[in-house]
Structure 1
């Protein structure tokens, strides 16, 4: 009820609309989202709730309807499509490329569904997508007390801001002709470690591109880039079929469970994000059971990506397969759930018998 206060009025005859959506007839009063997910298709439930909200609460202000969503959460957390992003831009006057980094409080939460539906460039389909994303985000983060990506025992540190290294000069373009000299080579070696410590894991291409820029080039020849790549210590490089990535020396890729979210427009293309980082974000997204497309969409949103290309979907699928092989995510053939989500389900199932009856009595 605290999560979706607009459900409070569904009693008596109105309750019939909700009773058939989950096995427990009083689920919206008596259960937490984790408990409901034990025997309910959560994505389907969210879709049904979206239809109910749009049909019956079109004039409710979204800020009031979804009070548990933190004001400072960015639009990117909702994983909206390009049409919805463009419509929000038209409705708010914010540039399209700046919408995803804008807080929800300054964008969608200030409107009602009716206002969004009639706003130029949005329409009913995009308005419904926005409501669905708000419901899913509320449900996914419900047991963590705020709108931030949930931290769990298996995800120490979890989400942190993605920080770019400052593009300060390392030299002038002609210096790269002396890359084999001790002086220039030493500068490049120090820069490699500096960039890896700030931005790592990062793609080898991004690392070399950053160093080239700091020597005054917009672009450099493949020969020069290869010369820089050869200076990266092998112990800092992790290669797979998804590319070569440079890691901080003190970071173990097999044990690291963090991922970075964008701030101030520091977004990264999916191809420049290490598969381990994508997998860690995917594990967080799968704290509740999700269908594959929704899992990919929510993972991309955690990483600040609003649209997944065909190449991006292939990359996501490869990461999902790695997670399935490792057991960090499991599937029932329809939905996917992380090991952390399974632990939450088990805990909810263990406590449900003695607590459900008490909550039912309170609710009635």
Structure 2
């Protein structure tokens, strides 16, 4: 009996020791304090705006081969609707629309140039799509030009429909939504065709002009533009077929909301200026306006330019004075006094039967 009691006491002591060991704090590695522990895990990424300001100019990825939108003339000067929107951003940031470098790029290389940081924004007849928004890591700004893909053929061919192009060869630029739309729409129509692909517009339209393909396809605005450059423009016709929706506008990299805001609101400012009847010619006459919406647009109240990181309270005034409102930019490059005489259509303000619509500055 005594032996059993003794054994019970020993067992109780062992259990107690085990419980005490489990409840005592576990020994951990020695903590060594150092100055490095206080350092941030990673350095703050420099904003696009600060990079642009330090550089002293905006680098805008554009087109050099599309008259009316982005074109490089024989004297080395860029002009066009898209180029003017590059200038508008430069005017808002620097107060100088010429603080700009246009970096010409093909359709295939434009996104790589932007992603690598070699350019700050793409404004180059670029279509907003879901895959570009997600897979390529792009943020698209407001649509500046609503377009649709079309086809140009020789008048003598008699082609009027997709079915008339059975077995035809079609010139198209590779790496574009144009190439994908062509395949989709011809497949849906049950029409066999041969795609003759090229790296850029010059190659594609030169091949078409030389008769190396039966038709050429791109956005209808581009067809209108490039028709003027063919050997005999009157020998060609844009058929009444629309293959797709093509909302064209600026694109920036994901991850810099401030820069995205700047691009967005510069574009919106040109639309709002047209809506309020403010132009490059009369903007000064609105500086004593009592309309709160106009006063905010012109930086007379609310300090809205500062909200997007720009120190100049009149950032939108600089845009309007140097580039004009949306209508001025459109008419100067594509309107009735140009060789294109392209009707605005959907690119009219919502008050004039179009779908251009800018949110309010407030």
Shorter chain as denominator, the TM-score bin is: under 0.3
Instruction: Tell which structure's C-alpha radius of gyration is larger.
Output: 2
TM-score (norm 2): 0.23
Between Structure 1 and Structure 2, which shows a larger proportion of strand residues?
Answer: 2
